[in-house]
A and B are shown apart, each in its own frame.
Chain A
């Protein structure tokens, strides 16, 4: 019995305590930040960054249930505020980048989609981000600004799965972030500034951070000209 119990205990402890190395941060990032977050961590000189990528709302739910995150990068002010309301944030969330929406279509734009109103064409398969995630909220604002109404075929759980459905050819078009367009198999259609909501990214240091000093230093770095350069390189406005 001691053998069995010891085995169970060792396995549980081993998996629970892994990854407490030097210069190490656990960052929860909105899915649209996936690639740039790695680059930012590299250039900052973090030996290791553990990225937990999810929709911003999922990140909030994870923090609420005690996920051991040090820094959270959310894709809108609402989710940043939700973190503050939970009493989970040390200091205040900091605005560090902006983004825009765009239409993703199949490579070469075979259906000649040129503006938002084209997405209302009958017979077109359009997927949008669900209103539960920031991209979905921005999309709702965009459609409202343009007074266009679309009947989507699916409300996807993250902006990246919208992109995947277009990339795989299952959807004719989807609304994603402008920064998402740099990939194979899709083309982008830009949207005019008058209707395009500016999306905001906030960085928050959590009170429960394992090393608050290091977490704060990383968030401070996000506001430096060097970090802004990297963000611009990935298509963000910074």
Chain B
């Protein structure tokens, strides 16, 4: 049933919205027009190493972001403490920070001579810069906010009566989270993971700043595109299109899961 006001969008707003759409779509259309289609498969094949690194790094980063972000989402949704607004702002920060700033911050803290990095090195012999683990940390850092905030929204939307009933039947907080809330929130959590993964696979600035650039170790697809642009621009176009298509596909999937 459509409300009576549906379709009543003023012409001036449609005009401005169209202009906005042109701004968003123009660059993508430009990419499509200048796309060397016949080279697509060959270029992607040549970038196989970067694709493998990207898949491994983004999936690992999403796993880390899920393990830490879902609990954060739960704390935000159910916690009763004053600093919640502050906590939410801190969690949001990586979304609005320029990625290179995230990379500098990671270097400052987790680098070899950083306060946490030096401890990691001394206790576990673990160095993050210039390693694949470092690339995973950089991608997880930027993916975590998406997982945490979408999880929070998912948990907020749950019917709390079920949890209350479970509590009166003697279920403890962990059991209520694990057996009642988690299964119900799964579609939202899935959407959060997909968004986090999309952010992780597109990560560039924090990765090149913190993890460096070495083929087979830390050179992900976006880094490969950056260097390819200087060597063979057409190959950079092919690889960019691949990332655009993958990201579009992911967003559609996430949207479907979201609206279910």
User: Which of B129, B212, B226 neighbours the largest number of chain A CB atoms within 10 Å of its CB?
Assistant: B212
Tell whether, in the assembled complex, residue A168 and residue B107 are in contact, meaning their CB atoms are under 8 Å apart: yes
Query: Is B12 in contact with A1, judged by CB distance below 8 angstroms?
Result: yes
- A156 and B218 alpha carbons, distance in the complex (Å): 11
What residues of chain A lie closer than 8 Å to B213, measured between beta carbons?
A: 130, 154-157
Of the 9-residue stretches A54-62, A67-75, A92-100, A210-218, which lies at the interface with chain B? A54-62
Most buried by A among B16, B213, B226, B229: B213
Count of chain A residues with a beta carbon within 8 Å of a chain B beta carbon:
26
B15 within 8 A of A: yes
Question: How many chain B residues touch the partner (CB < 8 A)?
Answer: 26
Query: Is A142 interfacial (CB-CB < 8 Å)?
Result: no
CB <8 Å contact, A169 and B113: yes
Find chain B residues with CB under 8 A from A58 CB. Answer: 230
Scan residues 1-47 of chain B and give those whose CB is less than 8 A from a CB of chain A.
11-13, 15-16, 19
Q: Is A132 touching B230 in the complex (CB atoms < 8 A)? A: yes
A107 at the B interface (CB under 8 A): no
* B129 engages A170 (CB within 8 Å): yes
**B212-A154 in contact (CB<8A):** yes
A145 at the interface (CB under 8 A from B): no
Any chain B CB within 8 A of the CB of A165? yes
| Interface set, chain A 113-147, CB cutoff 8 A to B | 125, 127, 130, 132-133
In the A-B complex, list the 7 residue pairs whose CB atoms are closest, starting with the nearest.
Answer: A154-B212, A1-B12, A57-B230, A153-B130, A169-B113, A132-B230, A170-B129
Interface positions of B (Cβ within 8 A of A): 11-13, 15-16, 19, 107, 111-113, 127, 129-130, 208, 211-215, 218, 226-227, 229-231, 233
Interface residues of A (CB under 8 A from B): 1, 4-5, 8, 55, 57-58, 60-61, 64, 125, 127, 130, 132-133, 152-157, 165, 168-171
Supply 15 A–B pairs (Cβ within 8 Å), ascending by A.
Answer: A1-B16, A5-B16, A5-B19, A57-B230, A57-B231, A125-B112, A125-B130, A133-B230, A154-B130, A155-B212, A157-B227, A165-B212, A168-B107, A169-B113, A170-B107
